[in-house]
Structure 1
Amino acid sequence: MKKALIVEDIPETANWVRRVVEEAFPEIKATLVSTLNEALCVLEKDCHPMVLVDLGLPDGSGLDILRYLQRQQNKTLAVVLTVMAEDEMLLAAFSAGAAGYLLKEQSAAEMKESLLRLEQGNPILSASIARRLIDHFRQTGPEKAEDSGLTSREIEILALISRGFRNKDVSEKLNISENTVASHIKSIYQKLAISSRAEASFYATKFGL
């Protein structure tokens, strides 16, 4: 990973995030912008493997950046970094293609660890949000994956990718081709109406996988 874009309008926070990113990835070059328009201009000119986005920007919502990346640069690891912990914002961010959702309240060490896990293919959430989701699922109880229309093979693959397995890992574990894995994942996404592995992880937890 060589480049990161940080979209944050508070200079002190932006510089703090840049220091954390550069500690996690010493080879990285981080660019700071403070508005939605600035971010879109940078992204139109160049791809960034990682983008960290605040949702509340002076000229709009960081969700628009996530949607742009989902359409134009869907291999980018897009991470929300915000103070907004409401359920509707969380769901909107993952629906727009976020690979992670972190709250600014966490420490630099926690954020660094999260970013390293993200690069390895694992969806990331701040601990407080993860606990809230777990509490929610405990109260509502797991649903049956079969009720979603998933086949037994798709349920197997959903369980694996929710634990951070890459397509190659799933292929080797199940003794099927990577193309077949990709086809199953596409089918899973369509049946669950999702667009990211982070959302897949939510459903795996919901199904008790």
Structure 2
Amino acid sequence: MSSPDAPVTVLIADDDPVTRSGLSTLLGAQPGLTVVGQAADGIEVVEQVGRLRPDVVLMDVRMPRRNGIEATRELLADRAGSADPPKVVVITTFENDDYVTAALSAGASGFVLKRRPVPQIAEAVRVAAAGEAILFPAALRRMVAARPLNSAEALPRAALTGREEEVLRLMATGSSNPEIAESLAVSLETVKTHVGNVLTKLGAQNRTHAVVIAYESGLVVPGLQGA
């Protein structure tokens, strides 16, 4: 993985060669990003990640042989290994796609629409690499409201303190740690502790996954949270 001052390394996974080539060229020209490889399906993704160790995989989910959901699960299952797995950002045409919701439940850090301008896709990759915030929370709220997730996960309310539930609700608005600290009038270190506790107690892969669980459980209601 990259050092703090190094460019974010990206692997692009898409079964359309034109899309792969275009994204590689355009993202490679963005500040702070280096495209290190391409993959045409989920099997190639896992192979390339093992060889190239990118910081972020920009993952299409509808791919042959092994789809992006299965590839995401396999990549994140490598957490027990010696190297940290990459962050996964789903790139999709339709934000309410069942494949996208499944990828988020599998631990993807967020998603971005293919029709977004390249600088916005690049920023989504940078944000995911930093692990600082959920991506496009308003779109996530609309997606969950339109197509509820069907996982068996439920929020163990008794396991979260009142302050941890407050933090989780603010995470669902896309608030960063500094923004949560300001909102709750607590220190940044305190927020980091609360966020870590929330992820641990929910068994969540990342902030996005924690918010998905909160939506599924009814603790956070789509459309009622802030933008």
| TM-based fold match above 0.5 | yes
Q: In the alignment, is the contact (CA less than 8 A) between 1:24 and 1:116 conserved in 2?
A: no
Find the aligned partners of 2:39 and 2:94 in 1 and give their Cα distance: 20
Cα distance between partner residues in 1 of 2:122 and 2:108: 18
Q: Counterparts of 1:6-85 in structure 2 under 5 Å?
A: 6-73=12-79, 76-85=86-95
Aligned-partner Cα distance in 2 for 1:108–1:94: 22
Does the Cα contact within 8 Å between 2:24 and 2:35 map onto a contact in 1? no
Return the alpha-carbon distance in structure 1 between the equivalents of residues 42 and 55 of structure 2: 18
Describe the SS at the equivalent of 1:106: coil
CA contact (8 A) 1:103 1:126 kept: no
Name the aligned partner's letter for residue 48 of structure 2. Answer: V
The match for 1:174 among 179, 186, 189 is: 186
Matches within 5 A, 1:103-118: 103-118=113-128
Match of 1:124?
A: 135
Q: 1:84, CA displacement in angstroms?
A: 4.9
Q: Aligned-residue CA RMSD in angstroms? A: 3.7
Spell out, residue by residue over 1:62-91, the C-alpha distance to the aligned partner (whole angstroms, 9 max, x if none).
112211221215552211112354453232
Going by fraction, where is helix more abundant, 1 or 2? 1
For 2:66 and 2:109, locate their aligned partners in 1 and report how far apart those are by CA, in whole Å: 21
When normalised by structure 1's length, the TM-score is 0.72
Ranges in structure 2 where 5+ consecutive residues have no aligned partner: 1-6, 147-154
Residue type at the aligned position of 2:28? E
Larger mean Cα displacement after TM superposition, 46-55 or 107-116:
107-116
C-alpha distance after superposition, 1:100-144 (max 9, x if no partner): 1122233324323433443452221397x34624865xxxxxxxx
Displacement of 1:97 in angstroms is 1.0
Aligned residue pairs total 198
Distance in structure 1 (CA, Å) of the matches to 2:21 and 2:128: 21
- Select which of 109, 130, 137 maps to 1:99: 109
Q: Is the 8 A contact 1:99 1:198 kept in 2?
A: yes
In structure 1, how many angstroms separate the alpha carbons of the residues matched to 2:201 and 2:97?
22
The amino acid of 1:94's aligned partner reads L
AA matched with 2:204: I
TM-score between the two structures when normalised by the length of structure 2: 0.67
